């Protein structure tokens, strides 16, 4: 658990053991704000539409570009002719922004 500035605790991960052996582990990367929830929900519906159309054989490609003025990261999930791309960009001394895009080739 992690304590925030409002003196509230939030789960950041979980472990499950059986017979003294680790059976399951999870880590929450980000999820305590409306923006993260909106983005996760959008990603769910986009990938759900891929699945419904039979696009389940996918590859993942990540890219990272960093400089003193810019931090740019992306992940692209290629499924058939469709690609879901999640981008995050942070310009020097500005809040990071994120976008979720779909392309069809």
Residue 54: inside a domain, yes or no? yes
> What is the span of the domain harbouring residue 43?
32-104
pLDDT in tens, 31-81: 667 788 888 899 999 999 999 999 999 999 999 999 999 999 999 999 999
Residue 44 has φ and ψ, to the nearest 5°, of -55, -50
Q: Tokens representing 82?
A: 């469709």
Residue 91's domain is classified under what CATH number? 2.20.130
Residue 12: inside a domain, yes or no? no
Which pLDDT does position 96 carry in this prediction?
A: 86
Eight-class DSSP state of 7: S
Residue 13: inside a domain, yes or no? no
Contact criterion met (CB below 8 Å) for 83 and 103: yes
- Give the chain's mean pLDDT: 88
pTM of the model: 0.72
Total domains, the chain: 1
Q: Tokens representing 33?
A: 């704000």
Q: Tokens representing 28?
A: 């929450």
Distance of CA 69 to the CA centre of its chain: 23
Residue 40: inside a domain, yes or no? yes
Which pLDDT does position 26 carry in this prediction?
A: 78
Residue 44: inside a domain, yes or no? yes
Which pLDDT does position 75 carry in this prediction?
A: 95
């Amino acid at each position: 658990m992690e304590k925030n500035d409002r003196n509230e605790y939030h789960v950041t991960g979980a472990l499950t053991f059986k017979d003294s052996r680790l059976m399951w582990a999870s880590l929450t990367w980000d999820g305590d704000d409306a923006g993260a929830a909106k983005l996760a929900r959008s990603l769910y519906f986009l990938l759900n539409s891929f699945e419904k159309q039979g696009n389940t054989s996918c590859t993942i490609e990540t890219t990272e570009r960093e400089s003193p003025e810019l931090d740019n990261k992306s992940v692209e999930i290629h499924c058939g002719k469709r690609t879901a791309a999640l981008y995050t960009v942070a310009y020097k001394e500005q809040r990071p922004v994120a976008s979720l895009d779909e392309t069809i080739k």
